[in-house]
Amino acid sequence: MNKKLAASVSGGAVLVLALSGCSGEDNAAKVNAWAKSVCGKAQPQIQKRADAQQVILSTPADGKPADIQAADSKAFQDIADANTALAAAVESAGTPPVENGATLQQDAIKELKATAAAYVKLKKQVDALDLKDQQAFGDGLQDIADGLSEIEKMDQGALSKLQSGELGKAMVSQPGCQKAKPSVSANPGSDASAPASAASQPAAEPPAEPSNASGPSKSAGKPSGE
């Protein structure tokens, strides 16, 4: 069941930096400067998200409920914190020097803050799971997986319009916005390389995603008791 959470987390919710637009004039230097400003602050947040996703993937689906609860709770909080910091980075960089830059910026900030709030809500749900009732715990994890699917839909809104164009290309070329490798190791007992079920895959995979999750386990069984 925890792998269903990983499928959602590693899907469309991470690519939040590929802002786009068409300047209509030769202002490549300004565009690159804007991208560099955002990506310089984004790198530690992208790393934080990658590590959080790896923790979810590495937590055995048949592990102890308390372990699953603790891992998911921290991961959700870390992703929420990262999204909040990314929103601040986009905001502090100022209006992107491209056509409709102000709208692109505000939409991205709105989406990042909204998903951060959604992850905080999921964290609270995880923290409230009943560890003594295995059936209730498994059902609760399913509800949380469904909640992650809703976050995916949020990410497919304004952000889906920001993944191409001059500004998007400038940001992808910046080292700070490159895909990060998790600094935490996968659990040897987890099946992180197995493909996800169709039901848990995101509707569309954004390009240049900084997520590092290779895919959730086939296992969707309920966790074992303590």
Taking the C-alpha atoms of residue 34 and residue 28, their distance in angstroms, rounded to an integer, is: 10
Task: Give, in order, the Cα–Cα distances in Å from 135 to each of 64, 87, 139, 200, 222.
Answer: 13, 38, 6, 21, 8
Tokens 């804007």 — which residue?
34
pTM of the model: 0.73
pLDDT recorded at residue 154: 76
pLDDT recorded at residue 60: 86
pLDDT recorded at residue 173: 86
pLDDT recorded at residue 124: 96
Q: Rounded to 5 degrees, what are φ and ψ at 57?
A: -65, -35
How high is the mean pLDDT in each 10-residue block of the chain (226 residues)? 58 46 64 91 91 88 90 94 92 91 89 92 95 92 86 66 72 82 59 29 33 31 45
pLDDT recorded at residue 213: 32
pLDDT recorded at residue 160: 56
pLDDT recorded at residue 62: 83
